[in-house]
Structure 1
Amino acid sequence: MTSDQNERVSERGGGSENPLAVPAATMVIMHRDPAGGAPKILMMERVKSMAFAGGAAVFPGGKVDQADFDFAAALPRDVTLGLDVPEVAARLAVIRETIEEAGLALGLHGVEDPANCDEARRALHDGEILGEVLSAQGWTPDLQKLVPWARWRPPTFERVSRVFDTRFYLVDAGGAQLNAVVDATENKRLFWASAAETLRLADEGKVKIIFPTRRNLERLAQFDSFDRAAAHAAEYPVETVLTFIDERPDGRYLCIEGRHGYPVTEEALDTALRG
């Protein structure tokens, strides 16, 4: 991977550079509740054996592969919307990962039913690259459907199993019934729940959520529609969220800065799950 495919991010309060992290992307799929409640969001519970966030409920997503960068670099400007290659590659990666993990083809032109993508899913699982799969299906990327929401990256002093530089995107799944299907390899269960419902399940000990997922669910829980969440996102241009540890008389806290739009910016370190 070339140096222009990653970005270095300085640690809070210091001049040192962090080592390059693995680029990743995740999709927050917001489905309109037919009962009129808050949007349902697709969560997937990972198998416990996974090195990162094993056993946790997360949004669909994963690493940005070299093939995603290659595909991004080859796309014409009218498709890329003038975005740079790392940004386009991240959006392509999360489109691919969501097909692979959940069996939903979102963020694409030419798709009649997002849940009708079994052939594309099998091809990706068999090792075909996304560009070839989309061409075979007659689909093209619709990158504007992915609304930038956040970007998270733990700094070097965090002792986590892997360091990912993860971009989060909101996607409006509308009101149609979407039958997401677990891949049964990395993930063992899929469920649709509002942000508040998933937080409640975590507080009741029924699901496990890591620190970034909890903070994003708390932020999402403020909104009763995709449009309102997207409008909020537009008010907070994406900057990298760096966690830091604050030493206090009553203990150590894992924190983020308050400028990113999150209603909760800290949690006691001994209760915070970090992957």
Structure 2
Amino acid sequence: MADPLSPPAALPGERAEPAATLIVFRKGVPGQASQILLVERSAQLRFAGGATVFPGGKVDQADKALAAARPAWVQGLDEDDAAARLAALRETLEETGLLVGMASARPDAAPRDATAAVAARAMLAETGQMGPVLDHFGWRPDLGALVPWARWWPRGKPGRVFDTRFYLADLGSGAVDLAVDNTENRHLFWSSAYEALDAAERGALHLIFPTRRNLERLAQCADFAAARAHAAAFPIAPIIPGTVLRDGVPWLTIPDGYGYPVLGEPLAEAHRA
């Protein structure tokens, strides 16, 4: 099936780097909004150093090869979309130790519990690829369980563009064991979107422009079901932030019509990766 989200043409000299990120929901305290998994990146990192973001990262060639080699997993998805979903699941396991979006592929499959997640994460760190991990434990990714949320094309440093697909995933309820990887990230935590935005206003969190805009959008949704319905109500197309002048002041903005309640902020206040 053709990918409905064809990317815009890059400017001369730009190379789009495919990436994926996963917005993981879990049920919060009864009567309160669901929580979202967030990670704080190490300050030394070149991209978004010190920023609080959703789990995710670049789509590897191994992700693309795995999507092409397992057509039963793809189930009609465009191969680039399928590879991005695999990358989102892989990066989430790698960065947080959270095993999400998995199903049993054979009768003797290992249980998908905290103990297996720790072992799978260790094997992933050793092999660097998701395929051997899934085969070893008898799992298969349920790519259809990931809900497309957005696609961003923020232009960073000259010659560097990220084509990032955002997906939603539902963890449900229950305690899970999480541990920061201590390489790319230094802290991870659960928070409602509203609480994360409030912490950023108080200076307790550092949010880059795309993360802030997506948290503002997520804050409109009380839980995963509401976010899934919200995602279905708006088109998904590459969002390219641009600079405009408002009363002589440069603003970094995004287009209207994609579900975002806040469309920009003064460029001097915007944190870019």
TM-score by length of 2: 0.91
Q: Which runs of 5+ in 1 are unaligned?
A: none
* 1:211-266 CA-partner distances (Å, limit 9, x unpaired): 00000000000011110110110111311111110012240000000011100001
Q: Return closer, same or farther for 1:34/1:8 CA change in 2, 3 Å cut-off.
A: closer
What corresponds to 1:149 in structure 2?
A: 149
Q: CA deviation at 1:160?
A: 6.7
Structure 2 residue 106 is the aligned partner of structure 1 residue 112: no
SS at match of 1:100: helix
Q: Is the CA contact (8 Å cut-off) linking 1:8 and 1:17 kept in structure 2? A: no
What corresponds to 1:240 in structure 2?
A: 238
* 1:137-181 CA-partner distances (Å, limit 9, x unpaired): 1110101111000010124xx547942110000001101122221
Partners of 1:230 and 1:17 lie apart in 2 by: 36
What corresponds to 2:180 in structure 1?
A: 182
Partners of 1:262 and 1:23 lie apart in 2 by: 22
Q: Is the CA contact (8 Å cut-off) linking 1:218 and 1:262 kept in structure 2? A: yes
What corresponds to 1:9 in structure 2?
A: 8
Q: Which runs of 4+ in 1 moved over 6 A?
A: none
Structure 2 residue 70 is the aligned partner of structure 1 residue 75: yes
Q: Is the CA contact (8 Å cut-off) linking 2:15 and 2:160 kept in structure 1? A: no
Q: Is the CA contact (8 Å cut-off) linking 1:34 and 1:175 kept in structure 2? A: no
Partners of 1:114 and 1:7 lie apart in 2 by: 38
Partners of 1:160 and 1:20 lie apart in 2 by: 10
* 1:109-162 CA-partner distances (Å, limit 9, x unpaired): 03532674111111111134211110101110101111000010124xx54794
Q: CA deviation at 1:17?
A: 6.4
2:39 partner amino acid: M
SS at match of 1:163: strand
Q: Return closer, same or farther for 1:229/1:18 CA change in 2, 3 Å cut-off.
A: farther
Range 191-200 or range 104-113, more displaced: 104-113
Alignment of 1:202-221 (within 5 A): 202-221=200-219
Range 228-237 or range 110-119, more displaced: 110-119
Partners of 1:124 and 1:145 lie apart in 2 by: 22
What corresponds to 2:41 in structure 1?
A: 46
Matched residue count: 264
What corresponds to 2:54 in structure 1?
A: 59
Partners of 2:148 and 2:35 lie apart in 1 by: 19
What CA RMSD, in Å, does the superposition of the two structures yield over aligned residues? 2.0
Partners of 2:33 and 2:208 lie apart in 1 by: 22
Q: Is the CA contact (8 Å cut-off) linking 1:23 and 1:166 kept in structure 2? A: yes
Q: Is the CA contact (8 Å cut-off) linking 1:10 and 1:18 kept in structure 2? A: no
TM-score by length of 1: 0.91
SS at match of 2:90: helix
1:36 paired residue among 31, 48, 53: 31
1:99 partner amino acid: L
Structure 2 residue 269 is the aligned partner of structure 1 residue 271: yes
1:229 paired residue among 219, 227, 230: 227
Q: Return closer, same or farther for 1:255/1:128 CA change in 2, 3 Å cut-off.
A: closer
Q: Return closer, same or farther for 1:8/1:168 CA change in 2, 3 Å cut-off.
A: closer
